[in-house]
Structure 1
Amino acid sequence: MVTSSLSGSSFSPEPSLSSQIEHARRAALLVRATDLAVIVVTGGDRISWLNGLVTCNLANVTPGHAVYGLAVQLKGRIVCDVTVLVAEDRALVVVPASAREELTQAFDHYLVMEDVELAHLPFAIWQAHGPRARDLVAPARAASPAIAAAEIDFTGLGGAIVLAPESEEAAAWHALEPTLKSAGGLVGDDAGWEALRLEHAVPRFGKDFDATTYPQEATLERRAVSFDKGCYLGQEVVCMLEMRGRVKRKLAPLVLANHDPGDPPAKGTAVFDTTGKQVGEVTSSAPSPTLQTHIAFAMLKAASAAADTLVKVGSRDARVVDKPARAG
């Protein structure tokens, strides 16, 4: 559960899902990302070296900006997703905490003669979503030179990320809280982020995709892959899949019929086509305040992943959509 501050706050620590979604649409929703961790990359070659290991293009990213991408294996499968925040003297690579050790080892394997050092340091990480999320960047930076913040849009609504070393967590929060309040924003929790990301078709590493998944299977090729940059690890396979234009399976958002009662479908629930043949399974799900029904991600056979395809999730009617938030 995300708490609203270090020592109490005027914000409700348990806002409703509908309130969180509404604030993300109209102002800002701030969520403490306890499932993320940071790899600090320093040294004179840090950007050129790192650019050869991720799918996003870092070549023209100036300090104070952030980009989203993937780290992939030589054979093209995803190691994990990454958000790279470029600072004046370092690059901060934000990764799922569960994947940090594996990714650090993978990075270290490709560190030969470059002037690069890798370190693990504890950070407090906040993600903000919504059109006023950008308002949080400048106050967070002003609170301490050690705090990094940048605009980055995860949902299409606008967004930002704030990284504070453990020693500066209180300073960061004391800057974020009044700014969020003046922007009409709200502190959210993981349930709110789960509903928001599913409404906006944002897949989550470890839930919707993992190290067995190619970028195109996770439908991340447009969001996380640059097809214009120079060489990077795994590029040949990723580009080959793109040129072929097809994969055998794809992650797809589903909207369940609103007349179906019960809880959101559990991870692993079978998905069937209209003939009763199993075509995939649910990877994650949540209630949708916007649609007043349940929504989900499912990994489906590619032929069943096109928008408007009718399926059954267990025994419940559902429809494949491009983005649930646009399906109402």
Structure 2
Amino acid sequence: MVEDLDPNSADAGVPAHFGDPMREQRLLETAVGVVDRSNRDVLAVPGEERASWLHTLTTQHLSGLSAGESTELLVLSPHGHVEQHAFVTEDGTTAWLDTEPGAGAGLLKYLEMMRFFTKVEPRDAGKELAVLSLVGPGAADLVSGLGEPRVGEVPGPKFAAGSVPPEPTSLYSVREFEGGLARRVPLGVDLLIPREAKTAVIEKLGVPRAGLWAYEAIRVAARFPRLGWETDHRTIPAEAGFLAAGVHLDKGCYRGQETIARVHHLGRPPRRLVLLHLDGVASDHPPARGTAVELDGRAVGFVGTAVRHHELGMIALAVVKRNVADDARLTVGESAAAIDAG
């Protein structure tokens, strides 16, 4: 379990690995495996006004979200800093929001504060649903009837008003599955299934299990950010890779919109998300989250998630200052680091 290897990890509650993390990574890249991510927090938002209500509170265009559809959303501070990130999955009667372990309470508190007289009833649904992830090229074959995930292009800084379609910027197809829901996502298929059925569903799927360490290595290599890992208290969406999937740049007013619009139209976010290759000569231990990325002895960013990848070696997602060149000679702790510009 994660907590047996790192008692302070925010990912406690799920298996880190099943004896061979590198083999599990290869499984997730070449075939398919099931990963227990049931430590994610889950909220339920039933109520006839849920779509329009969430549309006004978040960065995503949700007013037309229909049953069988899912997307991503952010909640921002008044100054445009990322406070929450969640997937929202609509089943026709309820919008289900799943977010990072420990983040659900803050998201639920915000939603309850913003209810006013709206016909919605947000609640903690962590005891109802658990998240499992089928990862790999064979994932979609296990759940028929799901279309390919779609993430739109981010428009240029000076795009014309009305040129961005009035729909979610990312769209993931959803269908019923084993008493819950299956959602097609870029890394495979997420399953939101009744928590008490988790063990039975894993056994019925009949595919090998992989731990969270393997999942995180695949995520890092694919450059997908994670709230609380690739974000800090002043992160704006354009800095951490959330813009394409989670932010509609031409919708009505929401909290933090002014910052998003200003930074996008100037085309100059202060920082950017990068993939780092670490040499691993001085240390073969991935650096801890929050470790400084340095250039000539001066901090220019921080490490989010660092992992050992079965092909790429030691790699990390990091957020660095925008003006750090792709060929800069960086250091992270005792390791030399280089930006992967691909």
What's the TM-score, normalizing by structure 2? Answer: 0.78
Gaps of 5+ in 2: 3-16, 146-174
CA contact (8 A) 2:139 2:189 kept: yes
* Match runs of 1:1-328 below 5 Å: 1=1, 14-121=18-125, 122=127, 123-138=129-144, 141-144=176-179, 147-153=180-186, 158-175=187-204, 177-178=205-206, 181=207, 186-257=208-279, 259=281, 261-273=283-295, 275-291=296-312, 293-304=313-324, 306-322=325-341
Task: Report sequence identity in percent.
Answer: 28
Query: SS state of the match for residue 149, structure 1?
Result: strand
CA contact (8 A) 2:51 2:65 kept: no
Q: How far apart are residue 264 of structure 1 and its match?
A: 1.5
Using a 3 Å threshold, how does the CA distance of structure 1 residues 205 and 229 change in structure 2: closer, same or farther? same
**Pairwise CA RMSD:** 2.4
Q: Deviations over 1:259-308 (max 9, x none)?
A: 555211233333222x33332232321111121x211122322211x534
Gaps of 5+ in 1: 3-12
CA distance in 1, matches of 2:141, 2:48: 31
Using a 3 Å threshold, how does the CA distance of structure 1 residues 310 and 220 change in structure 2: closer, same or farther? farther
CA distance in 2, matches of 1:296, 1:303: 19
Partner of 1:9: none
CA distance in 2, matches of 1:262, 1:167: 39
Query: SS state of the match for residue 128, structure 1?
Result: strand
Using a 3 Å threshold, how does the CA distance of structure 1 residues 74 and 135 change in structure 2: closer, same or farther? farther
Q: How far apart are residue 114 of structure 1 and its match?
A: 1.5
In the alignment of these two chains, the number of paired residues is 297
Q: Which amino acid aligns with 2:134?
A: A
CA contact (8 A) 2:280 2:335 kept: no
What's the TM-score, normalizing by structure 1? Answer: 0.81
CA contact (8 A) 2:40 2:130 kept: no
